[in-house]
Amino acid sequence: MTDMLTYKVKAVASNIRNKRESLNYTQEYLAAKLSISQNAYSKIELGYTKITVERLFQIADILETELTELIKTENAEAA
């Protein structure tokens, strides 16, 4: 159970990173938009930080994507 949850968290983090990179956005840009440090944002993409649903909605909005695209875990690469 824990392994699957860990996989899903890493997959969501990877989806966020992949979407950010596809838009050519930097971690610094997203961090500034979220009013957090680049280091704190990096931890989100690495799956080290638990994020709230509110934060996930903010990230989806900045990345101009549907939340469902970020939380898909089928065919996703774990970070």
Q: What is the pLDDT of residues 3-49, one digit of tens each?
A: 888 899 999 999 999 999 999 999 999 999 999 999 999 999 999 99
pLDDT in tens, 54-74: 999 999 999 999 999 999 987
Which are the contacts of 50, defined by CB distance < 8 A and separation ≥ 6? Answer: 9
Distances (CA, A) of 27 to 4, 15, 45: 27, 14, 9
Q: Tokens 């080290």 correspond to what residue?
A: 48
